[in-house]
Amino acid sequence: MCGLLAYLSTDAERVDEQTVAGVQHALRCLRHRGPDDREVWSDPHAVLGFNRLAFIDIEGSPQPMPYAGDRYRIVFNGEIYNYLELREELKAAGATFATEGDTEAIVAGYHLWGEAVVPRLRGMFAFVIWDSQTGTAFGARDAFGIKPLFTARLADGGLVFSSEKKALLELLGGSDAAGGVDAASLQHYLTLQYVPEPATLHRGIRRIESGTSFTVVDGELHTARWFHPRFDSRPVAPGQEQALYDRIAEVLDDSVAKHMRADVTVGSFLSSGIDSTAIAALAHKYNRDLVTFTVGFQREATSEVEIAAESAAILGVRHVPVEVTAEEFAEAIPTVVWYLDDPVADPALVPLYFVAREARKHVKVVLSGEGADELFGGYTIYREPLSLAWASKLPAVGRQALGRLSRLVPEGVRGQDLLRRASIPLEERYYGNARNLNADELAQLLPGRDPDLSHVTVTEALYRQTREAGYDDVTAMQYVDLFTWLRGDILVKADKMTMANSLELRVPFLDPEVFALASSLPLEMRVPRRGDATKFALRQAMRQIVPPKIMNRRKLGFPVPTAEFLAGPLHDWAQTIVKDSQTDEWLDRDHVLGLLERLAQAEVPSKRIARQVWEVLVFMIWHGIFVEERIHPEVPEPVYPVRL
């Protein structure tokens, strides 16, 4: 888990002392990702910079790492969990190694197998390999997009890659030089609460997509998708259900065991749900001194602190809770947004920042439960196609009638939204877990919006793929989430908030072997037609791992009392943010202030309105930092953990 920065010239004479100095300076923007070591290497064609956060072969494996007599240099962010097995396979094929770590396994594999090395990597990764013999580069991101990689073209023609966007802004010379705010990306952000890949909020900076590899030849970037997720549901023979549950438990146990590989102490995040509890329980098998961490707010109704503490006591692990006040929450937001690079309007990322900060005082690595819902069918919204099955059988005229009827029912009346959604095809109604703004609300907030641009622009190709594959509606939703919600929200906040604190987060559910098994489950094993259960097979598998008292608890997921904060203790703070913002080019300031007042005046503040306001606030703070350069967050120097 580190920060990489790579400059690839289109002209052999381009790399000079000034170029190297520019990379060295921009690399400071990534110091939180790797405070253990910083190195810059260059030749006439390339400059590679690296900030290292060391976990495996701590004294060895420096980067940028040479291989094959200095033919190759690699910079790599992430962890390869099957590196020991790969090294043995490569040695048998004739490879030699000078280190004991996982980085050399990647470049040795590339030397012997070429691009075919990527599907063999079991882990999270973003890397760039420079081949000085051919003057070309090769790189890739992991299947799910756990580790980020941004790219841009500089004014001198050089192509640059970085673990974080802010380093590219430094090399480009600021927001204007990066093309300014991308109007389409802003509109998508306000709809989805994140900017979808491969775009960013700056026109001149893009992302290498998850599950994609790339080559750079003669200065030109060529990308190719190496990972194509497939859901291949297979029926389970009568009487074989328990064998399947046992297999799920076995595969997840193996994944956790491999994710525990490190030469430093590994801890685990712990919330109220079965996902993180299962991970912690399995991790405890391999580390009897496991420490778990959770976070909450000083409000009994939404805090996970007491629930997680009870779970930790049942599991028999040491537990460290963190509680956050409204004032601490507001004070941290500019710093949090600076670490984010692009706005993500998920309030849960703020408590995640705080719990990561506390965890870094105790450990250097934590495990977490991200990905279980997308792989095993855990979101409640996945039940919607089952509850609306009757509507899907109606002719188009029947669905249109439902839509007209829904408009006659007053907003907020029970059943109104069900009728509305029943009238809309899946491809139009589902685009992820965030549904903060409808078309009319967006038009009020964003007067210059493009009426022809919508979430369908982002998801239509994905839905076409699901139709070609013959997926049912629930599986289609899972597939869409892999390319939208998971990599756009869940994994961005996980990476950025932990790396902000020089802490590595590992996600055992997002493992190729776990996905292979989860993607083979029949629909009934994910979301049963009867009852209200989700991720049914995973729950059954975890019964032998997670204590019964924890198994059926309702998941909270680091909840944030956003509505109460914005209506009460943070109302004036939010009002100041809106009034000071220089975003009138994009947003209707009076409309936002009106929403804030509605929150303050309401007897019970609307969570929906609060989420809309929160989205705007995050963008305004981002704009104040990266565009106006008016807001200057206090970014602390990286801290080191207490040795356990």
Binding-site residues for ATP sit at 295, 368-369
Binding-site residues from annotation? 102, 295, 368-369
- DSSP letter at 142? -
Binding-site residues from annotation for L-glutamine? 102
- DSSP letter at 35? B
Return the sign of the alpha-carbon dihedral for residues 481, 484, 485, 488. Answer: positive
- Candidates 110, 75, 73; CA nearest to 90 is 110
Tell me the residue type at 529. Answer: R
Q: Do 573 and 606 touch, CB atoms closer than 8 A? A: no
The kind and range of the H/E element at 121 are none
- CA atoms lying within 13 Å on the CB side of residue 322: 23
Given the residues 1, 2, 107, 337, select the one marked as catalytic: 2
Report helix, strand or coil for 202: strand
H-assigned helices in 423-544: 426-429, 439-445, 455-469, 473-483, 485, 491-499, 512-518, 523-526, 536-542
Burial readout 339-349 (b: 16 or more C-beta within 10 A, e: otherwise): bbbbbbbbbbb
Contacts of 180 (CB under 8 A, 6+ apart): 202, 203, 627
Contacts of 563 (CB under 8 A, 6+ apart): 599, 605, 606, 607, 609, 610
Paired residues of 221 in beta bridges: 216
- Candidates 366, 360, 330; CA nearest to 618 is 330
Tell me the residue type at 475. Answer: T
Distances (CA, A) of 307 to 4, 273, 303, 317: 38, 10, 8, 14
Return the sign of the alpha-carbon dihedral for residues 555, 557, 561, 562. Answer: negative
2 catalytic residue (yes or no): yes
Annotated catalytic sites, by residue?
A: 2
